[in-house]
Amino acid sequence: MKLSSIALTTVTLFYSTISVAGLVSSSSNIDFLVIDGQKANKSFLKNTNAFNADENKIHQVVLRVSEVVKSSSDRTLFESAPIIVTFQGVNEDLVLSTPKLETQRDVDIFSKSPNITATTVSGNKIDIKQDMLKQEGFLPNANILESLSEYNASNSIASVPSFASSSVLPATGFTKLQKNKVTLQGDNVAEQQLQFWFLQADKNTQSRFLDWAKKQK
């Protein structure tokens, strides 16, 4: 075999084993909250609200849709609940987008049945799986990774078991307050988290909160 043929074969085999990464971006009304099991940050998003997706891997993002819409004579801000989107990476750039959200009717429809579309730069739509990430508690976004890990362990429509971490505490965490070693009581996440943040506050803040709570009865 000629040397040139050997070299060509070697190069072909080498490139056949390389994973091609496409860039995943979004329409301007979408923010990435979690990417492949980790909170979205500048190292992931490359300062452009975009990240690389390996064509040989399943990817999962949690995103939020925000849009200013017309409501009667006013304009209001709509923010969706976190939406999970799972898809197979492709070897070209990909854009996640929503339908037009211009009126209150548009967002009402979207809220009941969110519709995220994944389109390549060449115009092809790729299959995705999507679901809502249910969250509970006083500050649900603080537990978004835990909530997602539990979701991924649940064998749900858009779950990715490899992103479920056995080391992550369930969303009913905060069982002990490290500061004062106080065991929190309560039957639900919201109650436990209220206790947690109350005990973190100084005496004056606690007093003002109690006064406010009494007025809510």
Higher pLDDT, 1 or 112: 112
Q: What is the pLDDT of residue 43?
A: 60
Query: Whole-angstrom Cα distance, residue 19 to residue 91?
Result: 8
Residue 206 has pLDDT above 90, yes or no: no
Query: Whole-angstrom Cα distance, residue 24 to residue 34?
Result: 13
**Domain residue limits, the chain:** 19-167, 172-217
Higher pLDDT, 177 or 199: 199
Q: Which among 81, 72, 80, 82 is positioned nearest to 103, based on CA atoms?
A: 72
* 53-65 mean pLDDT: 94
Residue 32 has pLDDT above 70, yes or no: yes
Query: Whole-angstrom Cα distance, residue 40 to residue 59?
Result: 13
* 77-104 mean pLDDT: 94
Q: Are 64 and 31 in contact (CB under 8 A)?
A: yes
Among 61-70, 108-117, 176-185, 186-195, which is the least confidently predicted range? 176-185
Residue 10 has pLDDT above 50, yes or no: no
Q: What is the CA radius of gyration of the chain?
A: 23
Two tokens, residue 35? 């990417």
Among 51-60, 140-149, 161-170, which is the least confidently predicted range? 161-170
Residue 135 has pLDDT above 90, yes or no: no
Q: What is the pLDDT of residue 214?
A: 84
Residue 169 has pLDDT above 50, yes or no: no
Residues ≥6 apart with Cβ < 8 Å to 88: 55, 57, 58, 59, 126, 127
Residue 6 has pLDDT above 60, yes or no: no
